[in-house]
Amino acid sequence: MKKTVVLRVDSGKPDMDKIRVAADFIRKGGLVAFPTETVYGLGADALNARAVLTLFEAKKRPLDNPPIVHVGDVGHVYGLVETVPAKAEELMRHFWPGPLTLIFRRSQIVPNVTAAGLDTIAVRMPKHNVALALLKESRCPIAAPSANLAGKPSPTSALHVLADLNGRIDAVLDAGSTAIGVESTVLDLTVDPPQILRPGGAPYETLRDFLGNVELNPLAVSEVTPHIEKARSPGLKYRHYAPVAEMIVVEGEPEKIADKVNSLKRFYEGGGKKVGILVTYENLSCYSAESVKCLGSRRDLSAVARNLFGLLREFDAEKIDVIIAEGVPPVGLGLAVMNRLRKASGYNIVKAK
Ligand code: TXA
Ligand code: MG
C-alpha cells in the first residue's frame, strides 16, 4: 500500500508547483489520477511499458483492454501513429481539445502493453487545463483509462477516485467535479465509413453532421448482452460502470415508465429488498422509496450525463440492494447515458408498454 498524495488545484489556473509534483511521478513511471472534461483518468507514461503495466494492475484491468493515450498537442499524434488520414486531421482541428477519441494504426514506438497487443491505438487531447498542464510538464503522452477499479462507475470527482484507488496510486490532482460526466466518444477511423465504438461526450448527431457519414457500432447501442469473441473495441465486451446493487433499466414513454417502475418497486420491497430509484425530474413526484435520486431533466441531457456516475456510487454508499433506473431519450448525450445505464445493469432492461 502506498501513500496517495492529494494535490488540490484550481481547475482553470492550476498551481504549477503541484502540477510539477504530479509530472515527476509520471516521468518516474508512477501513477497519477487527473481530471479531464469527461471523467478522471489514471495516468502513466504511455511509452513506458513497465509504468503502463503498473497502471493495469492498480485498476485490476484485463490486459487485453487498452487505455486511451492522451496528448497535449495535435502535433504529438504524428509520432504515435502510422498515418494520419485527412479526415482525422479535420476532426482533430475541429473537436480537439475535446471529448472525442480517435483510433489510428499505431507506430512501433508505442509499447505492446499500451496497445494491448492491437495494431491500433486510441488517442485524444482532453479539454481541461489541469490535464493539459500535466501533459506539458510530463513531456510524454499519457495513457489514461478512467480512474476507477475495473467494472466500477467512472469517477467524476477526486473522492470517487480515492474511494477506488487510495493506496494503489501515487497521486490525484483534485480539481473538483468534471463537466461532462460520461467518457469521450470513441471513433474508429481505420474503417470506412468511420464507426462510433463508444458513444460519449461528442454526440453522434454532431459527428454525423460533420462527417456526413458515420456508423454506430451495433454493440455500442445493443439492448442485449453482446456475445462476441473479438469485439473491435475490447471494452465493449466487459461489464462496466456497474454499481454493487442489482440494477434494472425501465425504458419507454415517460408516463408509462412511472407505472412500471412503481410495480417493480413494490415487487422488490415485498421481497425485503432496499430499493433505490434513479429518475428524471419530470417524474420525480411519481415515486416514494428508500432512496429516490434525480438525474436532472429529460430536456437537459447534459445534466443527466453529469450526474449519472456519482448517483450510482451514492446508491452503493447507502447499501441499496436494487436500483430501478428510468431510461432517457437516446439523443445527444442521452445516447451515452443509455449505453452506460444498460451496461451498468448488465442489460437488465424492462420495456414499459
Ligand atoms: O473520456 C475518456 O475517454 C476517459 C478520460 C480519462 O479520457 N478515458 C476512458 O478510458 O474512458 P477507458 O480506458 O476507461 O476507455 C477506453 C475505451 C475502452 O472501451 C477501450 O476498449 C477503447 O477505448 N479502446 C482503447 N484502445 C482501443 C483501440 N485501439 N481500438 C478500439 N478501442 C479501443
Ligand atoms: Mg473506463
Q: What is the DSSP string of 239-266?
A: --S--SSEEEEEEE-HHHHHHHHHHHHH
| pLDDT for 62 beyond 60 | yes
| pLDDT for 241 beyond 80 | no
| pLDDT for 1 beyond 90 | no
List all residues 6 or more positions away from 303 whose beta carbon is below 8 Å from its beta carbon.
Answer: 295, 296, 297
| pLDDT for 247 beyond 60 | yes
Instruction: Find out whether the beta carbon of 304 lies less than 6 Å from any atom of ligand 1.
Output: no
- Residue pLDDT, tens place only, 92-151: 999 999 999 999 999 999 999 999 999 999 999 999 999 999 999 999 999 999 999 999
Kind of pairing, strands 195-198 and 120-124? unpaired
Instruction: Find out whether the beta carbon of 197 lies less than 6 Å from any atom of ligand 1.
Output: yes
Cα–ligand 2 centroid distance for 262 (angstroms): 32
Local confidence band at 228 (pLDDT 50, 70, 90 cut-offs): low
Q: Are residues 23 and 130 in the same domain?
A: yes
Sheet (strand 142-143) strand order: 5-8, 171-174, 32-35, 40-45, 142-143, 69-70, 120-124, 100-105, 185-188, 195-198, 215-216
Cα–ligand 2 centroid distance for 40 (angstroms): 10
The reported pLDDT for the residue numbered 16 is 98
Local confidence band at 242 (pLDDT 50, 70, 90 cut-offs): confident
Q: Which of 213, 234, 209, 243 is nearest to 311 (CA)?
A: 243
Name the residue of 37, 186, 340 whose CB sits within 8 Å of the most ligand 1 atoms, as the mutation to test its pocket.
Answer: 186
Instruction: Find out whether the beta carbon of 100 lies less than 6 Å from any atom of ligand 1.
Output: no
The reported pLDDT for the residue numbered 225 is 77
Mean pLDDT of 56-84: 96
The reported pLDDT for the residue numbered 244 is 86
d(CA 263, CA 253) in angstroms, rounded, equals: 16
Q: What's 274's domain CATH number?
A: 3.40.50.11030
Cα–ligand 2 centroid distance for 289 (angstroms): 30
Q: What's 101's domain CATH number?
A: 3.90.870.10
Cα–ligand 1 centroid distance for 262 (angstroms): 36
Q: Are residues 42 and 95 in the same domain?
A: yes
The reported pLDDT for the residue numbered 227 is 64
Local confidence band at 248 (pLDDT 50, 70, 90 cut-offs): very high
d(CA 24, CA 30) in angstroms, rounded, equals: 8
Chain centroid to Cα 256, Å, comes to: 30
Number of independent structural domains in the chain: 2
The reported pLDDT for the residue numbered 215 is 96
The reported pLDDT for the residue numbered 150 is 94
Ligand 1 atom closest to residue 200's alpha carbon, by position in its atom list: 1
Q: Are residues 174 and 270 in the same domain?
A: no
| pLDDT for 219 beyond 90 | no
d(CA 26, CA 77) in angstroms, rounded, equals: 19
pTM score above 0.85: yes
Cα–ligand 2 centroid distance for 271 (angstroms): 33
d(CA 178, CA 173) in angstroms, rounded, equals: 12
Q: Are residues 213 and 250 in the same domain?
A: no
The reported pLDDT for the residue numbered 176 is 98
What percentage of the chain carries pLDDT values higher than 70? 96
DSSP secondary structure of 50-117: HHHHHHHHHHT--TTSPPPEE-SSGGGGTTTBS---HHHHHHHHHH-SSSEEEEEEBPTTS-HHHHTT
Instruction: Find out whether the beta carbon of 30 lies less than 6 Å from any atom of ligand 1.
Output: no
Looking at 221, 254, 288, which one is the last position of a domain? Answer: 221
Looking at 187, 221, 255, which one is the last position of a domain? Answer: 221
Residue 164 near residue 70 (C-beta atoms within 8 A): no
Q: Are residues 73 and 201 in the same domain?
A: yes
Instruction: Find out whether the beta carbon of 14 lies less than 6 Å from any atom of ligand 1.
Output: no
Name the residue of 128, 146, 333 whose CB sits within 8 Å of the most ligand 1 atoms, as the mutation to test its pocket.
Answer: 146
Domain that holds residue 114: 5-221
Instruction: Find out whether the beta carbon of 37 lies less than 6 Å from any atom of ligand 1.
Output: no
| pLDDT for 239 beyond 80 | no
Ligand 1 atom closest to residue 118's alpha carbon, by position in its atom list: 29
What percentage of the chain carries pLDDT values higher than 90? 90
Cα–ligand 1 centroid distance for 19 (angstroms): 24
Q: Does some domain include residue 155?
A: yes
Ligand 1 atom closest to residue 37's alpha carbon, by position in its atom list: 1
Between 291 and 228, the higher pLDDT residue: 291
Q: Are residues 211 and 81 in the same domain?
A: yes
